Chains A and B, each alone.
Chain A
Amino acid sequence: MAERSFKEEVKKLTAGDGEVFSGEGILAVTKALLQSGVAYVGGYQGSPISHLMDVFADANDLLESLDVHFEASASEATAAAMLAASVNYPLRGAVAWKSVVGTNVASDALSNVASGGVTGGALIIVGEDYGEGSSIMQERTHAFAMKSQMWLLDPRPNLTSIVDAVEKGFELSEASNTPVMLEMRVRSCHMTGTFIAKDNVRPALTVSDAAAQPVRDLNRIVLPPANFLHEVEKVEQRWPAGIAFVRDNKLNEWFGPETGDIGIIVQGGLYNNLNRAMELLGLADPFGNSEIPIYCLNVTYPLIPEEVKEFCADKKAVLILEEGQPEFIEHELNTLVRRAELDTRIVGKDALPRAGEYSAQVIRDGIGKFLREWAPAIAPAEAVSAPLPAPVASQIPQRPAGFCTGCPERPIFTAMKLLERELGPTHVSADIGCHLFSILPPFNIGNTTMGYGLGSAGASAFKPKDKRAIAVMGDGGFWHNGLTSGIGNAVFNKDDTVTVIIDNGYSAATGGQDILSSRAENKERSTKNPIERAVRGVGGGWVRSINRTYDLQKMRDALREAMTTKETGPKVIVAQSECMLNKQRREKPLVRKAVKDGKRVVRERFGVDSDTCTGDHSCIRLSGCPSLTIKPNPDPLRQDPVAHVENSCVGCGLCGEVSHAAVLCPSFYRASIITNASGWERVRDRIRHGVIAMLQRRDDRARASRAF
């Protein structure tokens, strides 16, 4: 069961011809796939394309009715390999993932499918996680398109253009026998908008039809001599065919006056920001009417030499707006201009920052710089900014990502932190997933992260004599590849490392999708395959499953044992507790209903007595829970703020465990609030309460008599 249900979105996918579709960018892509007669879809979840995977996962009935095969792939490599179905058969297929990380994982299969070429249209939808809010290394998918010679679409960010790009992308792929990548920037994936829908189209050939009549073509298999043939084919046939299709179908666009001695070339995805920048400079109106010629690359690879030549021919200088580095397009433009024997000066990274997202602000500054050199008559004055003075700015804290309230992963790192006090610091190889937040305050645990599922592999160089390294791996990463790349590798190489596998029941960081070891019943997938069994299956001998991570002592003891046991070979701890975000989503309504139905319900939450709290905040440094915070000290003499538990507390129990295990302070209390208590319970409570209240009154009187 995913974090939320997407039945509403699924309904939108059924929109017919002429209906106005309104929704987010990535959902528009999803709909466009169905309109294009796609036969199969695969992918791996991750921001910003999770939505596509989630919606398809919930759209089983619709997909079945259209005979579209959907698969929640085990990894991006799995998804890319799926495109093999388009090699021999005229099947349209699409796969999606987060890039550049997903493309890295997929690149073996991508190289193969790009080498042999495709018969049916093959579309690779990459969510380009670059710029603000990104959680990964800042690289460009562009390089992959270039190295494997796949075409790269980067449409203008409006839903109509994006949907067109999907449909044209399939045609382009088929016309040039080449897989096509569609780059979706984060903001475009989450951007709302509308387009006029078309009817969904059943694939002309379904995957079952294809399987029933197998086709074999030796020339399409990447093995000598065909691999050499493929290279020649790429250069001599597919490349020219691709260029011809892009040119003839006018996939790229032109705006502004037809001539001028300066111009701007822009990646399609940056077009809207460019227009806003020009509008603010008084060089364009809100409707895209520009005073400077613009050549908009909705296809950023390959470039179309004739179009470039024609655009540059009458211009002294052309500004290229290309986000990220290296500046592949700028290099290519320089080559094309030289080959065309033009004197046009290509201005790019010398006017714009080499790194980082190209916001309207950045583009505005870049254009200003460009114009001051090449068109001083229309150049704006240098902008004066008035930044917030440092004494004010320094008050605003960073907000690093952290574990959610009641997260079951938190106690694992609290335990590691406590163990660190006993055994000293340890090398910790982190992985990708929510657990990676351990590297941030307050835990500050983790030395490197080498990629999804690669926690154990990242620790494999350490063959320590005394102190073992600890590797962390999530259940998502484990099934993605960690079972073989990490555990299998450690077994085979007799590594002594300790691996903590965090089994929270979902691929939690990407939105709570089900995976092989999920505890949930899932009609369409096979779940409930225990991680421990898989670890033992590849030869892991020392395996401990802890089925309640909140049991801090147990957690710490297991870690200590793993770190100190004489047994050789990898030590694996499977730390299991359900993702609290998902658990709350499921259980909250049930609890509400039980209360309403008059059933006895016990709700637990924690609190801090502000009169015994001395404001040292050790508890926070071992937790970082959003609901464990501070408030001004109500004490008239004390000045440091006291710890405070907010009403959002879900009563996970860690605060109490921490104050015990770390011998912290007696300020924490657990409140158990019993709703719809039984009659007997009430009577007992009343008696108890009566006696205590009587004694308290007596104590109060005594205190009042000696008071100030």
Chain B
Amino acid sequence: MKEKSPSAKEVLIKGALIHNPILIQCAGLCPVVAAATSLKNAALLAAAVSLTTIFTCVFASALLKKIQRWIRMGIYLILGTAVIFPLIFLLESQSKSELSLVLKIFLPLIAVNSATAVHCEQFSVKNTVKLAFYDAVAVSIGSSAVLLICGAVREIIGYSSIAGHRLNIPTTFRSAALPFGCFIILGFLAAILKWISAYRYPNLVADSETIVRVKPKKDEIKDTVEVEVFDEFWNEEPEEAPLEIDEYDEIFDSLDNIFDFSGEEDEK
């Protein structure tokens, strides 16, 4: 039986939200973490990612369906390079100020962006040019949104400015401009995106999860052996379960009721 072709709306929502390349698939993280430290940098990276993805996906869908997979991978890299290097040349010749060192390193690396290759292989070569174009646009929108949000948040928190304009924020957090700060921001963005997806598009999320998740069989799950086996090393009895401490309860039970937000009854 022939599978039903997905609608354009479905492709757009899945590409941008449910399978967001950066937040959900964790593809192409390197430029986001290392280079998207300001809104300007993020905008340049977003433009580069969008151009590369759209051009490569459409080209792959139109001309590469019959070519073997191992050859296709190399062609994606050549196509990415063909888009990125003229763009860098254009930027350097047109803009008055030079590109920063970090952009000079990470902008060319977008030519070999894993998000582009993943979408070409997973979607473009299996679908029509029109759908491949919609998917590429969705991926570009999803990536660009994450890049711009990360860049803006990191610039505001880390440098107290936005797009180069100073803001009067009394305290700045240098850690936001560091890679670990970006990972924390990405973690929160991923959580928000998951929540929005599950709330707004539960059916599409459920469809995706049935494909991705493979549940282990019941008899394959083992989770209760580790402590006893290795306690023998010290010839020691396993620790007993701690006793309940009633005096803590008396003090804190009354205080707990003040902070009860759930509306649940106490489990005791």
A and B: real partners?
no
Q: Which residues of B contact A (CB under 8 A)?
A: none
Point out residues on A near B: beta carbons under 8 Å.
none
